[in-house]
Structure 1
Amino acid sequence: MANVPFIAIEGPIGIGKTSLAKKLSSHYNFHLLQEIVEENPFLGKFYDDIEAWSFQTEMFFLCNRFKQLEDIEQKYLNQHKPVIADYHISKNMIFAKRTLEKDKLEKYEKIYHILTADMPVPNMMIYLNASLDTILNRIRLRGRDIEKNIKHSYLEQLSYDYENYMNEFESLHPEIPIIRIDGDSTDFIQFQSDLDTIINNVNKHLKDLATTK
């Protein structure tokens, strides 16, 4: 399973993870794994009152992502079928550390480590990031009702947290290549040339993966 392409795309809310995952999935004919977002019954309440609804929100995401990855491992990766995902389950700790109080965070971490101990790890990461203005504009463009009440300060903090998370991930997993994309200067939706640049970078790492023993 180690050499089966498993690509995860990460970055802050609204940055374009799902859009890029769909385009790359279509280009490579890889199975597309999309995280469950709007189906979370607590998310709208969470954006209205983070402190009151954070534990329920994070637990829903964790359990659903665990089940998704369990299915992906059995039905695709173990069958040597490549996968591209618009998230990586370790992102859960970014949000949990930002939103949960200490006692709930300790409980959450224990559950998280139990569930993810044997989860498949991507062998390539694509990291999208951009300025707060770009992120806010993209959130407005996609027009999700549940995101209308997201505080700008929360998004700014998450962007900072993501940058720290990716730097830490890179130091802990030097064997996993990370393709970093500046969302302020790259628009793979409007410009095919920008998408082609990303595809060329992915191709290089896929070639390396194919030759890894």
Structure 2
Amino acid sequence: MKAGSQTTTAYVALGANLGDRKANIAAAARLLDASERITLTGVSTLVETEPLGPADEPEYINAVACIETDLSPQALFEKMVSIEDALGRVRGERWSARTIDLDLLLYGGELISTPALTVPHSRMHLRSFVLKGMCELNGELMHPVLKRSMNELAARLNGGDFSLSPDRPQLISIAGIIGVGKTTLAQGLAQALGCAMIAEAYDTNPYMPQVYAGRKDLALDSQLYFLNSRAEQLDKDKLAPGAVAVGDYVFDKEMIYATRTLSPEQLASYMPAHDAVAAAVAECVLAVYLHDSPPACLARIDLRNRPYEKGIDLPALEAFAQDYDRLFAGWRKCPVIRLDAGRFNCTDAAQVRILADEMRHYVWKSPEK
């Protein structure tokens, strides 16, 4: 680069699953650095990942490179294509195996949308192997569209890599303990996204008020009522593929409540019914873990003054909060957005609209015609 020239920091994903994968990644980095008007400033640690395409393909090795350049985005993209060609890249179908793959992730803070180039890369926030490299190079860097740091985006994936598919329901599930604001948030998000809202059948469960009042002998009836209701609402054959819906619960709460509220004998009777329907339930493509302190949730419960919630006490909420924390600490089914209900106002339409706009990047949408 010419002395004093204005440069832009850009990030390039490097991937390979054919040939000597490590050598191919190293060669691509060298060719980037050797290119006129490009300076390589860092390369992340290599990460081995399973292919996101056909399962019978070899595993990938991936890394992220940070460069300084005064090339335009289009010129940089063309240089990357020429490096792929020089390293023997054969261009086949999408997801096909390749000796080398270079993707432009970020070009400064610019937003680029052309037939050949989309920046930021439209799926980088769904790929842990990309975000791990980004975090290693600059974890506090903000995504120019999502306005979240690389560290926060990586934490949402918990090490998983995800793809968007029109062949499955685009179910967004709001999770959290009683009184945290799940239904309020789900209603607001459904309105902002213009989609259906799936509400848990609390008001129609005939056993729940008596269970909260101390009738433990009815706990199994209550739990089975919820199980059958949730299984019907979330039946993956009834929810339309590609259609977005927001639910005010996550199906996985079933085991939290069953374990906490049923006796060992009741749980033994419950499990066959649970296992019989669980496989037919649509898994969410995005979860929102809405959390707050149990005392704050108890205050909301007291304020809304529902008769069947009178028996809920602080120790019970604290136990459920611990269960939800454990559930999402190991969650790998889909991305998770964590929201602190003490800071995020679920009744503020403006805040909810901003969140809904962010969520659009985590669900499949039809290509614009």
Q: Same fold (TM over 0.5)?
A: yes
Does 1:205 find its partner at 2:205? Answer: no
The residue type equivalent to 2:315 in the other structure is S
Does 1:77 find its partner at 2:234? Answer: no
CA deviations 1:31-86 (Å, max 9, x no partner) are 1111100211111111121633321111111111112223xx444424x4321111
CA deviations 1:176-209 (Å, max 9, x no partner) are 11010011222121x4453244224313323xx4
Does 1:118 find its partner at 2:307? Answer: no
> Structure 1 residues 123 and 115, CA, compared in 2 at 3 Å: closer, same or farther?
same
- 3-state SS of paired residue (1:15): coil
The residue type equivalent to 2:285 in the other structure is N
More relative contact order in 1 or in 2 (CA 8 Å, sep 6+)?
Answer: 1
Contact 1:50/1:99 (8 A) holds in 2: no
The residue number in structure 2 matching 1:38 is: 203
2:351 pairs, out of 184, 191, 194, with 194
CA deviations 1:142-190 (Å, max 9, x no partner) are 221111121221111111111111223x1x42xx11010011222121x
Does 1:177 find its partner at 2:335? Answer: yes
Larger radius of gyration: 2
> Structure 1 residues 57 and 123, CA, compared in 2 at 3 Å: closer, same or farther?
same
Q: State how 1:50-129 maps to structure 2 within 5 Å.
A: 51-70=216-235, 73-78=236-241, 80-129=242-291
1:49 pairs, out of 206, 214, 217, with 214
Task: Kindly indicate which of the two structures has a greater share of residues assigned to helix.
Answer: 1
Distance 2:353 2:192 in 1: 10
The residue type equivalent to 1:122 in the other structure is C
The residue type equivalent to 2:174 in the other structure is I
Consecutive unaligned residues in structure 2, runs of 5 or more: 1-165
Contact 1:40/1:61 (8 A) holds in 2: yes
Distance 1:186 1:50 in 2: 36
- 3-state SS of paired residue (2:345): coil
Distance 2:224 2:168 in 1: 31
The residue type equivalent to 1:152 in the other structure is L
Contact 2:285/2:362 (8 A) holds in 1: no
Q: CA RMSD, aligned part only?
A: 2.0
Report the CA distance between 1:113 and its aligned residue.
Answer: 1.0
The residue number in structure 2 matching 1:12 is: 177
Does 1:166 find its partner at 2:328? Answer: yes
Contact 1:9/1:127 (8 A) holds in 2: yes
Distance 2:278 2:256 in 1: 15
- 3-state SS of paired residue (1:87): coil
Does 1:22 find its partner at 2:187? Answer: yes
> Structure 1 residues 5 and 101, CA, compared in 2 at 3 Å: closer, same or farther?
same
Task: Kindly indicate which of the two structures has a greater share of residues assigned to strand.
Answer: 2
The residue type equivalent to 1:180 in the other structure is R
Contact 2:169/2:282 (8 A) holds in 1: no
> Structure 1 residues 105 and 82, CA, compared in 2 at 3 Å: closer, same or farther?
same
> Structure 1 residues 50 and 129, CA, compared in 2 at 3 Å: closer, same or farther?
farther
Distance 1:147 1:102 in 2: 24
